[in-house]
Amino acid sequence: MLIRLLYTLLMLIASPFLLFGLYKSKPGKPTFGKRWREHFGITPKLEDGRPVIWLHAVSVGESIAAIPVLKALYQQYPNYQLLVTTTTSTGAAQMAKHSDWLSHRYMPIDLPICLNRFIRTIKPHCLLIMETELWPNTLACAKQADLPIAVINARLSARSAKRYGQVPWAFNQIGSRIDRLFCVANDDAQRFAQLGISPETLTVTGSIKNDIQISTHVIEQAKLLRQQLGEQRSVWVAASTHKGEDEQVLAAFAILLKQLPDSLLILVPRHPERFDAMAQLCVDSGFSMQRRSQGFDASQPCQVYLADTMGEMLIMLDASDAVFMGGSLIGDTVGGHNMLEPAALAKATITGPSYYNFSDIAEQLIKAQGLWVCQDSQQLAEQMAQLLQDQDLRRQVGQAALKVVQQNQGAVAKTVQGLTPWLTAKSE
């Protein structure tokens, strides 16, 4: 109790700074408008009288990943209504695309007064948390309200497990309140168990991102984009890049252009607030550049196509010949990003050496020769040139990656099945 009280006091002090960063206007970032009140638990009621499944997905990546599970719940449990909370406005923008069958609210900050107000208003039946967005007061207030709590697509890297292990009393405050953990891999489950989570709580489902389904809309838009960019030229995408990594990608591209002078790079920065800075960096680095938000002009030169829009990653990936997955060339600060989307599209993919956040799937892909690892910009240029110049090799690597994805599918069904005991009684 004392630990939670101290944590709450720290959150109270830190909240103004956290909210300032959240509300700060940035290029390409949707505004919160009058909905800022929702972060304080002042949230509109749900008019529908059905019981509520509450799922929290902090931002864009988690929101997109949650959609297959939400769709499965929507189809199998029509007597429930679905409410998704996100912390960010970019996550809210993703949920707005599905407003015909689910509702969205902003997540209250992790203070009991805000959370209790939210729970009293919404009256959820259970709480599902995407990945490991675990806030002590959120879990405590949900448990006080007698809500079953499950973490889906749960991941725990060796690095994070080591940190939690150094403060076991803090992890106990979190872990003791979780009823079910649906883990991505055996390694994740073992790390949670080592931290004291009961084995009965743990289920290995695989990653729900393996169950990705590519819509006809994505395929059609990707085909159109590729026609605009040039079907005969070599096109590669650097996906989810970070500050300090973009320079390395552009350096690799400069080397690559010596071998493939007509090649094109689709650059997809991870964070929308960096779009303008990235556009300037491309120009300062001497590349001709066009921005997706401004349309594509085939009459103008374009070496770098800056994907400065949100929610179009699959289109960019499918329009390319090969992929570099970012967050992996800047030391251990990020730990890589998910390789499953390009793998599901059968795209030959390269990652940098730091991919600890996705070590399980990365190792499977590497073993199957469906993922290559580069150490620096020079090797990235060499490997990308090899892939772009050899269509058969590119197809072989992509098909190997796709096979790994197909072998690991079924996580959505396993997750929904695991939730059945909580949902069946009210759905009958």
pLDDT tops 80 at residue 418: yes
3-class SS of residue 328: coil
**Alpha-carbon distance 159 to 334, whole Å?**
11
Asked, for residue 154, whether it belongs to a domain, the answer is: yes
* Helix (H), strand (E) at residue 354: none
Instruction: Indicate if 50 and 148 belong to the same structural domain.
Output: yes
Instruction: Indicate if 185 and 293 belong to the same structural domain.
Output: no
Give the alpha-carbon dihedral of 421, 423, 426, 428, to 10 degrees.
Answer: -80
- What is the residue range of 292's domain? 216-407
Instruction: Indicate if 272 and 396 belong to the same structural domain.
Output: yes
Asked, for residue 10, whether it belongs to a domain, the answer is: no
Pick the catalytic residue from 62, 131, 245, 341.
Answer: 62
Q: Is 62 a catalytic residue?
A: yes
pLDDT tops 50 at residue 428: no
Residue 422's pLDDT is what? 92
Instruction: Indicate if 382 and 270 belong to the same structural domain.
Output: yes
Long-range pairs of 418-426 with CB within 8 A, sequence gap ≥ 24: 418/150, 418/180, 418/182, 418/203, 418/205, 419/73, 419/126, 419/128, 419/150, 419/180, 422/125, 422/126, 422/148, 422/150, 423/53, 423/73, 423/77, 423/80, 423/125, 423/126, 426/51, 426/79, 426/80, 426/125
Cα 39-44-47 angle, rounded to 5 deg: 150
Asked, for residue 12, whether it belongs to a domain, the answer is: no
Instruction: Indicate if 369 and 417 belong to the same structural domain.
Output: no
Asked, for residue 361, whether it belongs to a domain, the answer is: yes
CA 269 remoteness from chain centre: 13
Is the full-model pTM beyond 0.85? no
Residues 267-304: pLDDT tens digits? 999 988 899 999 999 999 999 999 999 999 989 999 99
The enclosing domain of 283 has a CATH number of 3.40.50.2000
Asked, for residue 200, whether it belongs to a domain, the answer is: yes
* Helix (H), strand (E) at residue 6: helix 2-23
Asked, for residue 17, whether it belongs to a domain, the answer is: no
Give the alpha-carbon dihedral of 31, 61, 118, 426, to 10 degrees.
Answer: 140
What is the pLDDT averaged over residues 405-411?
93
Specify whether the CB–CB gap between 318 and 219 falls below 8 A.
yes
Residues 44-76: pLDDT tens digits? 999 888 999 999 998 888 888 899 999 999 999
Instruction: Indicate if 181 and 220 belong to the same structural domain.
Output: no
**Alpha-carbon distance 13 to 111, whole Å?**
11
Instruction: Indicate if 415 and 402 belong to the same structural domain.
Output: no
Residue 410's pLDDT is what? 94
Instruction: Indicate if 48 and 87 belong to the same structural domain.
Output: yes
Instruction: Indicate if 387 and 420 belong to the same structural domain.
Output: no
The number of domains in the chain is: 2
Instruction: Indicate if 183 and 87 belong to the same structural domain.
Output: yes
Position 138 confidence tier, pLDDT thresholds 50, 70, 90: very high
